[in-house]
Amino acid sequence: MTDHMPDDLSAAGRDLRAYTDELRPKHPVVRNVADEWVLLRHADVAAAALDHERFSSAVSRYLQVPNGLDGDEHARYREVIERYLTHDALVPFVPVFKRVAAQLVVDLPRGVVLDAVSDIGAVFAVRAQCEWLGWPAELEPRLLTWMQENHAATRSGDRAWTSDVAEQFDEIIRSVIQPRRAAQVDAPDDVTTRLCRETVDGRLLTETELVSILRNWTGGDLGSIALCVGVIVAQVAEQPGLAARLRTASDAEVDAIIDEMLRIDDPFVSNRRVTTCPVRIGGVEIPSGARVKLNWTSANRDETVFDNNRFDPQRNAAANLVYGIGKHVCPGRLLATWELRIALQALLASVNTIEPAPDQSPEREVAPVGGYHRVPVVLT
């Protein structure tokens, strides 16, 4: 151990935001108990994300389309994926997401304690995704149960459990794509069917590639949207002035405020890279073939970049890393931004107040998950 490393490098059981705030000023790079080099400062995280030559995304032995690919191969698949996430491709779903959000908030009970993560965020995320992809509403309970189990498995750090849960999700995806691939003519005209007909290098996407793409669109992102809703509702409940500001703000202003709330408390914690040669970063020599973590949550709270983390949507937008940077920057940003804004606006439009539940504090998540585990609120 060298002097730039703290004694205890295990983040297990801790609130990652608080832990990395504590580490970052003195330790820009820490080597964790899993032998990964974790980058904590904004400049280093951004530099590594933009350096596609020396920091490869080929970190897993499993196929990960497109996030585990590099170079031209990544670009070919990324092009296919981006077609589904452009402004024009997503506009038709805006009224659909608004309907889903309005129905959900009308059904929420008033005057009792609700959990913003599981009762609002998770349910909205699953319904919006099913509508977008054309998946049957009957999958909702199965997907919600899966999200809870996936979350518990990730939290536990138990690899066998995590991979078992991942396999269950692949089963759900196969149950949706197999009939569409088999039916040449009368498959439903939806995003999933269109994706099944996409080609790369002049051939149809294989089942394994399709499962990987859809796992990326749904598996990870259902959880992220739910956690983002938790973070947003927690901040609105704690700062009544914010609700008033959001109610009169334009859509663009609401988007900027949400981005800033997520910057301060980014629940999408990190992504991995592997070095292709020895690299010096953050004052530390990292060998070739080392596993590196870009910690977005910490980079987004770097006090040297964000004026001591003062809440300022305009000033802080340019350096905000919630959706990443570089060739792997989140292609789902517009979809996530619209879903989150629509959910928040529907909630604010249908209630007078969103208040913290009396005598119950929000529970922070613990490593490796970010944001909140539970945000108890009362709607009136």
Positions in the binding site for ligand HEM (CB under 6 A): 49, 66-67, 78, 81, 216-217, 221, 224-225, 228, 268, 271, 296, 322-324, 328, 330-332, 335-336
Please state, in angstroms and rounded to a whole number, the distance separating the CA atoms of residues 40 and 20. 7
How many CB atoms are located within 10 Å of the residue 320 CB?
20
> Which residues share a beta bridge with 293?
38, 272
Amino acid at 198: E
CB of 159 to ligand HEM, least distance (A): 21
Collapsed DSSP state (helix, strand, coil) of residue 37: strand
Q: Calculate Rg over the CA atoms of the chain.
A: 21
Please state, in angstroms and rounded to a whole number, the distance separating the CA atoms of residues 370 and 180. 36
- Residue with Cβ nearer ligand HEM (49 or 147): 49
- Residue with Cβ nearer ligand HEM (48 or 246): 48
| CA-wise closest residue to 233 among 122, 93, 94 | 122
CB 30, CB 6: distance < 8 Å:
yes
CB 281, CB 1: distance < 8 Å:
no
Residue whose Cβ sits closest to ligand HEM: 332
Maximum pairwise Cα distance, the chain: 65
Please state, in angstroms and rounded to a whole number, the distance separating the CA atoms of residues 244 and 171. 44
CB 148, CB 117: distance < 8 Å:
no
- Residue with Cβ nearer ligand HEM (19 or 84): 84
CB of 67 to ligand HEM, least distance (A): 4
User: Which class for 154: exposed (0-12), middle (13-18), buried (19 or more C-beta within 10 A)?
Assistant: middle
| CA-wise closest residue to 324 among 52, 71, 112 | 52
- Residue with Cβ nearer ligand HEM (65 or 378): 65
User: What would the DSSP string read from start to end of 349-363?
Assistant: HH-S-EEEPTT-PPE
CB of 339 to ligand HEM, least distance (A): 7
CB of 41 to ligand HEM, least distance (A): 16
CB of 25 to ligand HEM, least distance (A): 23
The edge-to-edge listing of strands for the beta sheet with 113-115 is 113-115, 376-379, 354-356
- Residue with Cβ nearer ligand HEM (14 or 78): 78
CB of 78 to ligand HEM, least distance (A): 5
- Residue with Cβ nearer ligand HEM (19 or 323): 323
CB of 294 to ligand HEM, least distance (A): 7
CB of 211 to ligand HEM, least distance (A): 13
CB of 241 to ligand HEM, least distance (A): 25
Please state, in angstroms and rounded to a whole number, the distance separating the CA atoms of residues 306 and 301. 7
CB of 324 to ligand HEM, least distance (A): 3
- Residue with Cβ nearer ligand HEM (372 or 378): 372
- Residue with Cβ nearer ligand HEM (71 or 109): 71
Phi first, then psi: what are they for 115, rounded to 5°? -105, 115
User: In the block, which residue shows the tokens 């509508």?
Assistant: 131
Phi first, then psi: what are they for 27, rounded to 5°? -130, 90
- Residue with Cβ nearer ligand HEM (198 or 355): 198
- Residue with Cβ nearer ligand HEM (228 or 286): 228
Tokens of 371: 């944001």
